[in-house]
Copies of this chain bind each other. A is one copy, B any other.
Amino acid sequence: MSRSCHVALIGQKFMGRAHSNAYRQAPVFFDLPMRPVLHSIAARNAEELAAFATQWGYPNHTTRWRDFAKDEAIDLVDVATPNDLHAEPSIAMLEAGKHVACEKPLARTLDEARTMRDAAKKSRRRTFVWFNYRRCPAVAFAYRLVREGRLGDIRHVRATYLQSWGGPDTPLLWRFKKKYAGSGAHGDLNAHIVDMARFLTGDEITEVHGAVSRTFVKERAIPGPVKRGAKKTGKSDVDDALLFLASFRGGAVASFEATRVAPGHLNANTMELNGTKGSLRFDFEDMDVLQFHDATVPDREQGWKRIICTSAGNHPYAEAWWPDAHGLGYEHGFTNMVADMMRVLGGEAPEVPLPDFADAYETQRVLEAAVISARERTAIRMREVK
Contacts and interface: CB of A to CB of B under 8 A. Distances in A.
Interface of A: 14, 18, 21, 24, 28, 55-56, 110, 114, 141, 155-156, 158, 160, 162, 164-165, 167, 204-212, 214, 216, 241, 243-247, 251, 253, 255, 257, 259, 261-268, 274-279, 281, 284-287, 292-293, 295, 298-308, 310-311, 313-315, 322-332, 365-366, 368-369, 372-374, 376, 378-383, 385-386
A367 to B, nearest CB: 10
Given A244-B210, A253-B241, A323-B14, A301 B292 contact: yes
A245 B365 contact: no
22 contacts: A24-B24, A28-B55, A110-B385, A155-B259, A208-B379, A210-B373, A216-B251, A259-B274, A262-B274, A263-B275, A263-B277, A263-B278, A264-B304, A266-B324, A266-B325, A267-B324, A284-B325, A284-B327, A285-B325, A300-B311, A305-B306, A369-B385
Interface of A is mostly: mixed
Contacts of A308: 266, 285, 303
B205 A382 contact: yes
B247 A245 contact: no
Q: In the complex this chain forms, how many copies of it are found?
A: 4
Nearest to A370: B380
Nearest to A333: B326
Given A165-B324, A212-B253, A264-B274, A156 B301 contact: no
Contacts of A18: 322
A20 to B, nearest CB: 8
B279 A300 contact: no
